[in-house]
Amino acid sequence: MSKPKPKQAISVEGAVALSDALRFACVAGEVMSAPLPVARRASRSSAANAADGESNTAIIGTLQEKRMHAAIKRYLCDDMTCHERPVPDFLVAEGGKSRRVVADILTDGEILEVQTGGFHPLRKKIDYYLTHTPYRVTVVHPIPAVRYLSWIDPADGQVISRRKSPKRGRVRDIARELFWLSEFVGNPRFSIRLLLVELEEYRLADGWSRDGKRGSNRYERFPTALLGDVTLATSADYAAYFLPEVLDARLDDGGNPQPFTAAEYAKASGIHGMATYSMLRLLCSLGLVEQTEKIGRSQGYRVVT
């Protein structure tokens, strides 16, 4: 009988103290065992369908990140009086009406905004904070370093299957979303904090494919463990995670970094598509990379030494 293979250690970016990992697990467990939150918003037609007893994935969709959001806020600040606090003396005029801006977490001198989805909705809010307040601003974003995926039968609510996703989350996964906040990167009062987590994700098998997985709706997801913690604040932070060493190590006869193209950067970093060019622009704005003469028909870049 062959011996079982030992589990390999998971390599995750960003060190986490044992005390922080235990506290995160405790908070996540409490949030996970709490009752499901009620959707804050639902259209009139959606509410009517729900009252008629129809299966309504639109209402389910509004709950998809509530537990994730709540667990991270509790971990960052256990003082609930600091949660969902209006920013003092700060009103925003929209459509002839004024509304008070509410921060996810507001402590002495710092605003924490927890964003579990894309960064685009935060763009206007972060601009308000940095322009009209003296606070430091940190965007906190979870990255699923390890994910367990469970499928739910929409007919009876039973879990059909559960598996571990082969995809491992990493810091460079936010490259595409960084475009929306790139104008704030480099501001000494702005930073991005990435929590690399292990999470459980539940999806309804209500898609259009035969097994119901393609085009399916997410039901709920929540973190179970904190595996990594990375803060992006300085140029050195962005260089460490978004400037591949292979590009810095390529030297010419004079000992200077050799020029490279966007395609070579994409191959070395694993950042593809439009995110390649937005990241190169960001690295140029941080003074980490500079444009050079063209290489063939492509724009050349060089690591600044």
Rounded to 10 degrees, the C-alpha dihedral 123/228/275/221 comes to -70
Cβ neighbours, 10 Å, residue 76: 20
CB neighbour class for 226 (10 Å; exposed up to 12, middle 13-18, buried from 19): buried
**Comparing 69-78, 214-223, 278-287, which segment has the lowest mean pLDDT?**
214-223
- pLDDT of 37 over the 60 cut: no
pLDDT at 33: 79
Q: Please compute the mean of the pLDDT values over residues 111-130 and round it to a whole number.
A: 93
pLDDT at 98: 65
Backbone angles phi, psi at 235, to 5 degrees: -60, -35
What's the pTM? 0.81
% of the chain exceeding 70 in pLDDT: 80
Tell me, what DSSP letter sits at residue 270? -
**Comparing 2-6, 61-65, 125-129, 181-185, which segment has the lowest mean pLDDT?**
61-65
Please give the Cα distance from 239 to 156 (Å, whole number). 50
Cβ neighbours, 10 Å, residue 104: 20
Give the closest residue to 160 by CA, choosing from 220, 213, 208, 215: 213
pLDDT at 292: 92
pLDDT at 23: 95
Please give the Cα distance from 299 to 305 (Å, whole number). 19
The overall average pLDDT reported for the chain is: 82
**Comparing 38-42, 80-84, 174-178, 188-192, which segment has the lowest mean pLDDT?**
38-42
The H or E element that residue 39 is part of is none
Contact 168, 145 (CB under 8 A): yes
Q: Tell me the pLDDT band of 273, cut-offs 50, 70 and 90.
A: very high
CA 303 to chain centre: 27
Q: Please compute the mean of the pLDDT values over residues 38-65 and round it to a whole number.
A: 39
Q: Please compute the mean of the pLDDT values over residues 209-221 and round it to a whole number.
A: 77
Cβ-proximal residues to 278 (8 Å cutoff; 6+ apart), any chain: 175, 176, 178, 179, 182
Q: Tell me the pLDDT band of 36, cut-offs 50, 70 and 90.
A: low
Q: Tell me the pLDDT band of 159, cut-offs 50, 70 and 90.
A: confident
- pLDDT of 22 over the 70 cut: yes
pLDDT at 269: 93
Q: Please compute the mean of the pLDDT values over residues 187-193 and round it to a whole number.
A: 97
Q: Tell me the pLDDT band of 249, cut-offs 50, 70 and 90.
A: low
- Beta pairing partners, 221: 201
Q: Please compute the mean of the pLDDT values over residues 22-50 and round it to a whole number.
A: 63
pLDDT at 263: 94
**Comparing 148-157, 250-259, 282-291, which segment has the lowest mean pLDDT?**
250-259
Please give the Cα distance from 274 to 278 (Å, whole number). 6
- pLDDT of 73 over the 90 cut: yes
